């Protein structure tokens, strides 16, 4: 084949590939890039742990599994919570606003109709769910029960998020292809390191989500491990690790990110609108595989 003909064929193939990527991006499960900078995973799981600073986890012998995810995935070295105490951070991550929450008190279910990640995903035709360890039953809006705490589950605060989308962790699917496109996993007060040790939380993560993490590596999916806040310091610097097929192994970013930036990143992945301060935030870049 002559050089000129090869060029024409290559150009045609390039156009075909580009066109396929564009149309694939319209489907429910695609690896096409949204917003020009982030991938579109088939599935995203966000796990939020509690009350530990960056140096208490990253590089710590008490968190061998999280550090293995860091080594095989991406590490955000300057990631931050928004405020103290815990609860406002969960609302910030989920809705781009603390929604006027300033403490850890039990809130009134459905008190807000503001846009949030779940309502945006639903409006865009995408799927959403949460899986909550020790939640007494699917959709329960109880304030607390044993080691379960509503304060770590902001989705119950929104009238535009069906309570039925909040599942018990026992309902977490073993067939990961049945997961929604975006889900949050909330460990209970021991498993999330609030009442128990870093090692306890790290072991819980390995025991419960390592199989998903391994699967995500070959199924265009993503695991995000982050924290609500640090251990009460003014810097509020937290661990945030990303792991999956579309993450460049061993990568890191020294850019400063906050909960609003993580929310913006997930919104951009699925082409939704932007809730609250996410509209002014920056998507996470520099850690994605080409």
Of 2-6, 205-209, 210-214, the least confident: 2-6
Q: Of 171 and 2, which is predicted with more confidence?
A: 171
Listed in sequence order, the residues at least 6 apart from 15 whose beta carbon sits closer than 8 Å to its beta carbon are none
In Å, what is the CA distance from 44 to each residue of 39, 56, 108, 213, 244? 11, 25, 28, 10, 9
Mean pLDDT computed over 207-215: 98
Confidence of residue 36 (pLDDT cuts 50, 70, 90): low
**3-class DSSP state for residue 254?**
coil
pLDDT tens by residue, 166-178: 999 999 999 999 9
Cα 201 from Cα 259, distance rounded (Å): 21
At residue 262's C-alpha, the angle toward residues 102 and 204, to 5°, is: 85
Confidence of residue 290 (pLDDT cuts 50, 70, 90): confident
Tens-digit pLDDT profile for residues 43-83: 999 999 999 999 999 999 999 999 999 999 999 999 999 99
- The pLDDT value recorded for residue 32 is 34
Helix, strand, coil tally for the chain in percent (to 5):
35, 20, 45
Whose tokens are 């695609």? That residue is: 30
Q: What is the mean pLDDT of residues 186-205?
A: 98
Backbone angles phi, psi at 191, to 5 degrees: -65, -25
Length of the chain: 290
More confidently predicted of 33 and 111 = 111
* Whole-number Å distance between alpha carbons of 152 and 186: 7
User: 53: which 2 tokens?
Assistant: 């600073």
Least confident of 6-15, 146-155, 172-181: 6-15
At 117, the pLDDT band (50, 70, 90 cuts) reads: very high
């Amino acid at each position: 084949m002559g050089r000129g003909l090869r060029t024409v064929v290559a150009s045609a193939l390039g156009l075909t590939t580009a066109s396929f990527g564009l149309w694939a991006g319209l489907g429910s499960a695609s690896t096409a890039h949204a917003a020009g900078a982030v991938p579109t995973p088939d599935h995203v799981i966000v796990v939020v742990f509690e009350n530990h600073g960056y140096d208490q986890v990253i590089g710590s012998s008490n968190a061998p599994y999280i550090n293995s995810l860091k080594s095989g995935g991406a590490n955000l070295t300057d990631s931050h919570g928004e405020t103290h105490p815990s609860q406002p951070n969960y609302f910030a991550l989920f809705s781009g606003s603390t929604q006027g929450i300033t403490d850890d008190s039990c809130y009134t279910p459905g008190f807000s109709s503001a846009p949030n990640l779940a309502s945006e995903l639903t409006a865009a035709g995408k799927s959403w769910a949460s899986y909550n360890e020790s939640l007494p039953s699917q959709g329960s809006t109880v304030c607390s029960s044993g080691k379960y705490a509503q304060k770590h589950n902001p989705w119950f605060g929104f009238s535009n998020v069906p309570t039925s989308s909040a599942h018990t962790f026992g309902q977490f699917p073993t067939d990961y292809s049945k997961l929604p496109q975006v889900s949050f996993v909330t460990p209970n007060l021991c498993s999330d390191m609030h009442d128990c040790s870093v090692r306890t939380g790290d072991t819980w993560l390995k025991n419960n989500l390592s199989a998903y993490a391994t699967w995500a590596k070959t199924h265009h999916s993503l695991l995000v491990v982050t924290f609500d806040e640090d251990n009460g310091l003014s810097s509020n610097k937290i661990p945030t690790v990303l792991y999956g097929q579309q993450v460049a192994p061993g990568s890191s970013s020294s850019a400063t990110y906050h909960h609003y930036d993580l929310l913006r990143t997930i919104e951009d992945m699925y082409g939704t609108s932007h809730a609250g301060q996410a509209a002014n935030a920056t998507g996470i870049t520099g850690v994605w595989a080409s």
